[in-house]
Amino acid sequence: MSSEHFVVPRPKKSTLPPQPKKRKRTAAIEEISFDFDARADYLTGFHKRKVERMKRAQAENEKKAKEERIIQRKQLREERTQELKEHVAAVDAILAESKNPFLDHEESGEDGEWDGIKEEAPAEPIDHEEEYIDEDRFTTVTVEEVGVTKDGLHTAAEDEELELEAKKKAEAAAKAAKEAKANPKKQWPKKEKKKPFRYESKVERKIGRAKQKSSNKKQASARRGDD
């Protein structure tokens, strides 16, 4: 028999039954319990949850309002900055004109006519108040004219009050002197002040008794000598 006609035998099937597949072991549920506290919390917590939702909405609204206020204040600061720049430019122009009062006359004097001296714009009052608004602050600045003396700084209103008070005092003193001159009062002699009464201490009484005894002895011995 040649090798070309050799047939490989088929493997024999096992007569044993196939082994069962291993299943994953799951933990057995020992007990199912009902949470009465969670149920009661859910049933009685509708108002509480509603209040929490309202608080969250209120906090969000406040946050949005704060952001809007910040934006408005930023715009206001930008507007004030622009106004300040324009004011500074106007002041610089006025100062430049005040340094050269005949500049306009020279420029307009090409035709040989003089329009006269132009009136300057009225200066801003010294005593005034200005308001400044920042993100969370509101500040009012009061500008007043003050005078410097050795006693410190004094405003014009304080100086006027001091002058008025001094004037009133001088008038009152002059009036009192005039009345005293017209109706002189009798001057009574001053009474001497009495010394305050004070109790002697135990030591002072003991010393006083000793002095009294010694003086009595001296007087008795003097009388005996005379006899």
Determine, yes or no, domain membership for 58: yes
Using CA atoms, how far apart are residues 56 and 49, in angstroms rounded to an integer?
11
Q: In this structure, is residue 55 part of a structural domain?
A: yes
Can you say how many angstroms the Cα of residue 27 is from the centroid of all Cα atoms in its chain? 67
- How many C-alpha atoms does 5 have within 13 Å on its Cβ side? 2
pLDDT digits (tens, 9 = 90+) for 75-115: 999 999 999 999 888 888 888 877 665 555 444 444 555 55
**In this predicted structure, what is the pLDDT of residue 68?**
93
The answer to whether position 60 is within a domain reads: yes
How many domains, the chain? 1
Query: Are the CB atoms for 103 and 97 separated by under 8 Å?
Result: yes
Residue 46 lies in a domain: yes
Average pLDDT, the chain: 76
Candidates 78, 68, 73; CA nearest to 133 is: 73
Domain that holds residue 81: 37-110
Any domain includes 89: yes
Q: Tell me, yes or no, whether 157 lies in a domain.
A: no
- Assign 177 to helix, strand or coil: helix
Q: The pTM is what? A: 0.28
Q: Which residue stretches of the chain are H helix?
A: 36-44, 46-99, 103-108, 156-182, 202-226
Chain Cα centroid distance, residue 145: 26
Q: What pLDDT is recorded for position 109?
A: 47
Encode burial over 188-206: b for 16+ CB neighbours within 10 A, e otherwise: eeeeeeeeeeeeeeeeeee
pLDDT per residue rounded down to tens, the chain (227 residues): 445 566 777 777 777 777 777 777 777 777 778 888 888 888 899 999 999 999 999 999 999 999 999 999 999 999 999 999 998 888 888 888 776 655 554 444 445 555 555 555 555 555 556 665 665 666 666 666 666 565 666 666 777 787 888 888 888 888 887 777 777 666 677 777 777 777 788 888 889 889 898 888 888 888 887 66
Task: Note whether residue 97 is domain-resident.
Answer: yes
CA within 13 Å, CB half, 195? 3
Q: Is residue 105 part of a domain?
A: yes
